Amino acid sequence: MRKPIAILAALGFLGATSLPSVATPATAAVVKSDDLSAAKKAKKAKKKKAELTATDISAAKKAKKAKKKKAELTATDISAAKKAKKAKKKKAELTATDISAAKKAKKAKKKKAELTATDISAAKKAKKAKKKKAELSAVTDLSAAKKKAKKAKKKAENVILYRIAA
């Protein structure tokens, strides 16, 4: 947008400065100072236009460099995206590993629960055995007590009563 405006301004300036000299009638030997100043102005405008064109060229070079740099950055962004994608893939792999580890842990927990159930049943069996032993012990104790009682009774029967005659 700047370039067309600069060109139009330069042409307008040239037109404005050179028109009076063209429109005036030509005289043979006398040159007016207006004509000289107009020519100087035109020369200056031409020089300025060339300068602007040089500036435009350098601006174009800068734009080209910026574009190149941007393309370079885009390439960097692409490689960064690739790296991110790889990292994501690796993370997904790790997650899969974590899932399998979780499954293993679950199995281990299940096995432990089974063992605990076995321990509980073993404890029940032990309790039953203890109860049975206590019962047997009680029966044995009772039979021992009965035997003692019988023995005491027998002993009492064997006691001879003596009468002392007075």
Instruction: Specify which of 49-53, 71-75, 104-108 reaches the highest per-range mean pLDDT.
Output: 104-108
Rounded Cα distance, 5 and 12, in Å? 10
Write out pLDDT tens, residues 70-79. Answer: 777 777 778 8
Contact (Cβ atoms closer than 8 angstroms) between residue 35 and residue 24:
yes
63: DSSP letter: H
The whole-number pLDDT of residue 32 equals 57
Residue 67: its H or E element: helix 33-158
46: DSSP letter: H
Contact (Cβ atoms closer than 8 angstroms) between residue 11 and residue 48:
no
Contact (Cβ atoms closer than 8 angstroms) between residue 48 and residue 86:
no
Contact (Cβ atoms closer than 8 angstroms) between residue 21 and residue 34:
yes
Task: Output the six-digit token pair for 155.
Answer: 């002993």
Write out pLDDT tens, residues 150-166. Answer: 888 877 777 666 777 76
pLDDT reading at 26 higher than 60: no
Counting Cβ atoms within 10 Å, is residue 56 exposed (0-12), middle (13-18) or buried (19+)? Answer: middle
Q: What are residue 26's phi and psi, to 5 degrees?
A: -80, 130
